[in-house]
Every structure is written in C-alpha cells, then in structure tokens.
Amino acid sequence: MSEPRTLYDKIWDAHVVHEADDGTCLIYIDRHLVHEVTSPQAFEGLRMAGRTVRHPEKTVAVPDHNVPTDESRLHGIENEESRIQVETLKKNAEEFGIEYYDVNDPRQGIVHIIGPEQGWTLPGSTIVCGDSHTATHGAFGALAHGIGTSEVEHVLATQTLIQKKSKNMLVEVTGSVGPGVTAKDITLAIIGEIGTAGGTGHVIEYAGEAIRALSMEGRMTVCNMAIEGGARAGLIAPDETTFEYLKGRPHAPRGGMWELAVAEWKKLRSDEGARFDKVVRIEGEKIAPVVTWGTSPEDVVPITGTVPHPEDFEGPKREAVRRALDYMGLTPGTPMTEIEIDTVFIGSCTNGRIEDLRAVAEIVKGRKVKEGVRAMVVPGSGLVRMQAEEEGIADILREAGFEWRLPGCSMCLAMNPDQLAPGERCASTSNRNFEGRQGRGGRTHLLSPAMAAAAAITGRLTDVRELM
Amino acid sequence: MDKFTTLTGIAAPLPLVNVDTDMIIPKQFLKTIKRSGLGKALFYEMRYDENGNPNPDFILNREPWTRAEILVAGENFGCGSSREHAPWALKDFGIRCVIAPSFADIFYNNCFKNGILPVVLPEEAVGKLMEDAGKGGNARITVDLPQQTVSSSEGEVFRFEIDPFRKHCLLEGLDDIGLTLQKIRHIDSYEERQKGAMPWLWNGSAA
Ligand code: SF4
C-alpha cells in the first residue's frame, strides 16, 4: 500500500517533470492565463532571446485590469498607456498564436472569471497566471497559483515552472452557515482566524460540510482569497457540483473524453489518513456576516462588532493598527454599523459572478440606493453581464440606482478610471483593502455582495440580516 | 541576470509589517510595458505628497538613505499582488537586498529572478539591524551570500538560511529558462506520458 496522499500531493506528483537531488522540481503547467499588465515584459523577453511559445494552445489571453468599464471603450481606450498595454497584449497574442478575447468580445472579462467560464479550468490540472488571485481556480481541484513576469516568460517558453513543493494545510469549515452568511464571509472569517501570513509556504485545502454546500461560484470566492491568507494556492476537491458546472463549457472535454475525465477526477480527493502539516477547524455556525475595519484583509470583525483598540493587539501589529485606524479615519469603539459610506463597489474576481449579482438583486429589489451614495456593479465578464440582463437582474439594479457597467477589474485595483477620491469610503466586494488600493487615500471595507447591497440602501455598513 | 555575491552598503530601516506590493509600487505605474525606470515610483505614496513633491520625512528621501542598497523591514514583506514591478522598482532604485523576518511567497520568488537577495532573519536580529540601519552615516551593513551572513556596522554577524539551488543561481547569475531548456528531453517525455494519462488536457474539446 502506498502512503495516503493529500489532494495537493496527488496533483503535484502527476506534474513532476524532473526532480533534482535537493528537491527542486520542474513542474508541468497545463493552462496559462495571460493579461495585459504582467505579460508585456515576458513576451519581450522571448523575442529578445529568440524563443517561441512552446504550446500556444495551452494559453489564453484577455485584457481586464486596464479596461474602462463605461461605454467609451466601444470606441477605443482613451488613456494612452492603458491602450498601449492592451494593444501590446493583442499583438503578442497574434504573433505567438495565442487565443485572445478582445476588449469588446462578449467572452472578455476578468481572467479568473473567464477561465472557468470557458472551461479552461479543469480538475487535476496545473494553472498559472501572472496574477496572485489565480488561486481562484483551485475551486475546481486544480493546482493554481500566481507567478511573476519572469515566470510567465518561463512558462511560455517551456510550459513548466521551477518549484519546490509547499506544505499541506487543511482548513475545515464544519456544519452549516446561518442566513445572510456567504462564501465571502467564510473566506474572510478564515483569514481573520489564521492571519495574512497564516498560510505562507502552504497550499490550503478547504473542506467540511459548509464548503461542500457551496456552489462553484461560492467555492471560487473562497479559493480566490487563499492568497490573502498567505497561501500559495487554495484547493477544493471536485465533486458533482464541479462536474455539473463544467459540462458543456467550450473548452471542457466532450463525449467519451468527458466520461474518461470525470472517472479520473473522482479520484481527486485527499486519502483517508493523509497528513497535513497544519490543520484549522472553524465552526460554520459561528461565522457571522463580516466586514473589515483596517488596511489588511485579516482586519476582520463581525458586522455586529465595533472598531477595535490598538491596545487589543500586541507587538508590531499594534503600531500597524494605529496606522490603519488613522488611515481609515476610524475611532476605536465605534459600532461598525455606524460607519457611513460614500461608494459601493460590487464586482472583481472575488465576487463578480452571476450568483453574486443575484444576491445583490435579492436585497435591493424594490428598494433604492441611498441618496448621495455612488453604487456601481461591474460584472466579471461579458457573459455574466448578458446572463444578468436575461434574468432581469440588470433592470432591478438599474431601477434601484446602481450603475451597470461593462466587465473588467475596475475599482478592485483602480487602474482604470474607476477610482475613489482621497478620504472616500467604499463598501467593496473585492479582496484587498490596502492603503490606496482603490484610489489614493481611499478607504475600503471588504464585505460580501449581499452586505454591500445592504450598505448601498442604508448608506452605512449594515447587517444584511435586517433587510432579509 | 545580474549576479549577487557580497554587498556592503547603506541600509534603510522600514519598520513596518505587511508592506504590500501596492505600497512598494502602486498600480498607476504598472501600465508600462518595460522593466526599467520604476525606481522613481518606489514607495510612491509614502515617498511623495499629493502634488508629487518628495516627503522629506520618508526614509528614502533622507540622506544618506537616498543611496540605500539594502532595505530592512518588518514581517510579511511583499504581500499582496504578484507584480514583478515591485522587485523591478526596488532594483531600479538601487536596492539589491531586503532583510525581513518573513516574506510573501511570490515576492520572495520574484526577487531571485531579478538578482535581488531576500534575507530571512529572526525578528530579534532584524530588530538589531533595523537599529543599525537607522544610524545612517558610515553605518554600512555587509551581506555575504557565499558565507550566508549579514554583518552589522559594529561587526555583529547573523547567519541566514537559503535554498542551495537559488543561492547557486544568484551567485552565478543563471537564467532559469536557459537551465530548464537543458532539460527539454524530460519535458518531451513527460508530455508523451501525460497525453496517455490525461488526454483531455490535450484534445479536450474533441469528441
Ligand atoms: S479583479 Fe482585482 S484581484 Fe481580481 S484580477 Fe482583477 S485586479 Fe486582480
């Protein structure tokens, strides 16, 4: 009998091309996603060295970070630098024979949303992208992680990466979560528990009934933020929910090949007795709708809580908390629900999928966005946008007073014109609340789409359960 | 890639934890299609005010740290996005070595690809070096990669651990892609095996 192995062990073992004596491995990469910001220097590097792309058919390219999300983009991108970056991506894709979804193609969208949507993301595969939120694809039981531009070039040239194996970490969320508690609350609660460096050097496998009960959209939200917990990647074992989602997607296997694949995918689970280097258990029942108060994703508090005191913390974190509260303009002891917001941003690769928009529509239906609040919804892809229009969600959102935008990263990182002004406070469904992330001096509170919807209605951070 | 062997230089103290890549280089500078010229934007929001004037209090704007080659920082340095613009900006500014109690994974990786040495030392050692770096003037810190040591200006020596393969690549300035292409036979045979074991990854959309 061979040793029991974790899901991560299995995918890793199946992709080792070569192992050196010191344990440094060459790992095969099955899918490579490319966007405009982290790739130009990689393609340039290939050209300078006279190298080619080893398997162009394993790579797909899409512009997302820079694209404006208003109608102006139908006539081209105004900002010169952004335009050059997007045009460069297109040129590189053409030159090297890579599938490319142009800015106004209905399949365009945030790279981590379109990968699964198009069936590029498959269980048991290895996936990389020059973007830290590549962890998202782990929801399918794929080993997926972010890489730097030098590594993008390495993968283009060799279809492999030089890696050392990470450690195994298990995060089990037991039981079920209460009403108003979503995948976003689960993932934020986990980061609050383990801290932003809690997963460093590890690949996290998420397990437990509360995780199993999630849809694919919810699982993607959970894995998306594995990186915020410091982990290299997040993983969830594939099951019927996964297969159901993938079946019939443009790049998913079909017919006999589908049957063959599913039979193999069913083996992708951690064996009984497999060893994890670190185990964390969280009771689903104890997770409340949460929101962040500071400038690190670990700065999490239940919506029923208050802004913490620096004295509640020890060591260097105390100073960090002081700095964060100062930046956020918050006074310790203030109930979270008294914090007024100016802007609501719903979107990003964390929460820009159809299920997220449905959750928003459910809360805002028949209600109005509070006067003076700017509320925007940016669907994660052209297809999400189309589906939301078909389902009548877009109408509900527009009637409530939301801006209904074109797909892209938008105010998640504010590289395009969607930005906060200094001091503006935003309830955001994205994944990072770093200083200046959404615009210089902008203040970000991370929360779930349903909670963001509630904040849009009342103009302050709100316990969504009161509006349900 | 540039080699890294030993370095004696001015070290700048940055006593912050969780320094994220947005802080190291904010997104407005990611629109470039080049690797060079990012040094002036390093730590942009801390280094300049709203009008783009240098903030005189920020360490890298003060003498002698405008010429710093080493950065000493708090734990979890480089967390956040995968942007290699962060090490590019550090390097372009002149930083060749970052010392901290811990680093975020992707940033740590990216450093090696750019001839920057990230040194992990225990909190206490970093604290001492931080203090030493704060002295400025003639307080030079020495980083010796072959010996795996950092020495303070007062001669206190701290030993650090580093992966032997990465050390080798940095010492020799080796190009990863070139190294991997020497293993092309292994890649070819892996692909043949995988076509048998997981054919859907090769002709997924075929019936
Ligand atoms: S939506 Fe935000 S986190 Fe996701 S890929 Fe875009 S910028 Fe990165």
Residues B90, B181: one domain?
A: no
Ligand 1 binding pocket mutation candidate from A187, A412, A426, A431 (most atoms within 8 A of CB): A412
Residues B184, B140: one domain?
A: no
What residues of A are in contact with residue B18 (Cβ under 8 Å)?
196, 296, 320
Residues B31, B129: one domain?
A: yes
Residues B160, B182: one domain?
A: no
Residues B153, B52: one domain?
A: yes
Residues B185, B168: one domain?
A: no
The segments of chain B whose pLDDT lies below 70 read 203-207
Residues B130, B200: one domain?
A: no
Q: Is the pLDDT of residue A320 over 90?
A: yes
Say which of A157, A415, A434 has its CB closest to residue B80.
A434
> Which tens digit of pLDDT belongs to each residue from A251-283?
999 999 999 999 999 999 999 999 999 999 999
Domains in chain B, number: 2
Residue B139 is which amino acid? A
What residues of B are in contact with residue A22 (Cβ under 8 Å)?
163-165
> Which tens digit of pLDDT belongs to each residue from A152-185?
999 999 999 999 999 999 999 999 999 999 999 9
Confidence category of residue A326, pLDDT binned at 50, 70, 90: very high
Which carries the bigger pLDDT value, residue B138 or residue A431? A431
Say which of A148, A230, A320 has its CB closest to residue B82.
A148
Q: Which domain holds residue B133?
A: 6-174
Residue A316 confidence (pLDDT) = 85
Residue B15 inside a domain? The answer is yes
Residue A94 tokens read as 């053409």
Percent of chain A topping pLDDT 90: 97
Q: Is the pLDDT of residue A289 over 50?
A: yes
Confidence category of residue A315, pLDDT binned at 50, 70, 90: confident
Domain with residue B59: its CATH number is 3.20.19.10
Residue A277 is which amino acid? D
Ligand 1 center–CA B27 separation, angstroms:
12
Chain B: residue nearest A20 by CA?
A: B165
Residues B116, B67: one domain?
A: yes
> Which tens digit of pLDDT belongs to each residue from A135-152?
999 999 999 999 999 999
Residues B84, B29: one domain?
A: yes
Residue A433 tokens read as 């609340």
Contact flag B33-A85 (C-beta cutoff 8 Å): yes
Please give the average per-residue pLDDT across A215-228, as a whole number.
97
| Residues A137/A223, Cβ–Cβ less than 8 Å | yes
Supply the mean pLDDT for chain A: 97
> For chains A and B, what is the number of CB pairs under 8 angstroms?
193
End-to-end CA distance of chain B: 45
Q: Is the pLDDT of residue A288 over 90?
A: yes
User: Closest ligand 1 atom to the C-alpha of A352?
Assistant: 1
Residue A447 confidence (pLDDT) = 98
DSSP string of A231-293? -SEEE----HHHHHHHTT-TTS--HHHHHHHHHHHTT-SPPTT---SEEEEEEGGG---EEE-
Residues B184, B121: one domain?
A: no
Those of residues 394-413 in A touching chain B at CB distance below 8 A are 413
CA distance B88 to chain A (A): 11
Please give the average per-residue pLDDT across A60-69, as a whole number.
96
Residue B1 inside a domain? The answer is no
CA distance B6 to chain A (A): 24
Residues B48, B147: one domain?
A: yes
Residue B207 confidence (pLDDT) = 36
Ligand 1 center–CA A134 separation, angstroms:
9
A52 touches B: beta carbon within 8 Å = no
Q: Determine whether A125 is exposed, middle or buried from the number of CB atoms within 10 Å of its CB (0-12, 13-18, 19+).
A: buried
Ligand 1 binding pocket mutation candidate from A67, A82, A110 (most atoms within 8 A of CB): A110
Ligand 1 center–CA A409 separation, angstroms:
5
**Best interface-test mutation with B: which of A150, A194, A203, A412 has the largest number of B CBs within 10 A?**
A150
**Dihedral sign computed on CA atoms, order A339, A344, A347, A351:** positive
DSSP string of A289-330? -EEE-SSSTT-EEETTSBPPPGGGS-THHHHHHHHHHHHHT-
| Residues A408/A110, Cβ–Cβ less than 8 Å | yes
> Which tens digit of pLDDT belongs to each residue from A87-130?
999 999 999 999 999 999 999 999 999 999 999 999 999 999 99
**Nearest by Cα to A413 from A397, A432, A395, A426:** A432
- Residues with Cβ within 6 A of ligand 1? A 64-65, 110, 112, 131, 133, 348-349, 409, 412-413, 430-431
Contact flag B186-A159 (C-beta cutoff 8 Å): no
> Which tens digit of pLDDT belongs to each residue from B92-131?
999 999 999 999 999 999 999 999 999 999 999 999 999 9
Residues B131, B206: one domain?
A: no
CA distance A170 to chain B (A): 18
Residue A1 confidence (pLDDT) = 60
